[in-house]
Amino acid sequence: MEYLWAFIIGGIWCVIGQLLLDGTKLTAPRVLVIFVVTGVVLQALNLYQPIVDLAGNGATVPLPGFGYNLAKGAMEGAQKGFLEAITGPIKATAAGVAVAITFGYIVSLIFTPKSPKR
């Protein structure tokens, strides 16, 4: 059952993204930004946690999940103090961002641009 919900919720986020890309003039970067901010706002209103409890990775792997983690870090930090509230978001997502930057940099330096094959 857990797997089914992960599949459905993860799929729904992707369908929303696809419809935004096809149906509006929004480009992929804008859609990514919208999704992350949506995740932050939903979690700030305590609306995203129930989705995570239901779907697990189906809710955390799509980009709103990134926003959810940022907001969750901020909210947990806020209970400890002002500084923790500010450091919370980056602390909560530090591992993913650090790997994305470092590994991404290495990969970009090693590989050369490919001409698209049709």
Partner 1 sequence: MALQISEEKNKEKEKQKKEIGKAYGKYAKQFTPRPKYFSNSVKAFIVGGLICTAALAVQNRLQAMGLSQKDAGTFVTIGLVALAQLLTGLGIFDVIAKHAGAGVIVPITGFANSMVAPAIEYKKEGPVLGTGAKLFSVAGPVLVCGISAATVVGIIYWFIEKF
Q: Give the binding-site size for partner 1 (rule: CB under 8 A).
A: 78
Per CB under 8 A, contacts with partner 1 among 53-82 are: 55-58, 60-63, 65-67, 70-71, 73-75, 77-79, 81-82
User: Dmax over Cα atoms in the chain, in whole Å?
Assistant: 55
Q: 27 exposed, middle or buried (CB, 10 Å; 0-12, 13-18, 19+)? A: exposed
Instruction: Give least dist CB 38 to partner 1, A.
Output: 10
Per CB under 8 A, contacts with partner 1 among 18-47 are: 18-23, 28-29, 31-33, 35-37, 39-41, 43-44
Q: Residue 116 carries which DSSP code?
A: P
Instruction: Give least dist CB 101 to partner 1, A.
Output: 7
Q: Return d(Cα 81, Cα 12) in angstroms, integer.
A: 36
Q: Considering the rule CB under 8 A, would residue 90 count as an interface residue with partner 1?
A: yes
Judged by CB under 8 A, the residue of 1, 3, 25, 26 near partner 1 is 3
Q: Return d(Cα 37, Cα 4) in angstroms, integer.
A: 26
49 vs 89, beta carbon nearer partner 1: 89
Q: Return d(Cα 46, Cα 115) in angstroms, integer.
A: 45
Neighbours of 31 (CB within 10 A): 17
Instruction: Give least dist CB 19 to partner 1, A.
Output: 6
Instruction: Give least dist CB 40 to partner 1, A.
Output: 4
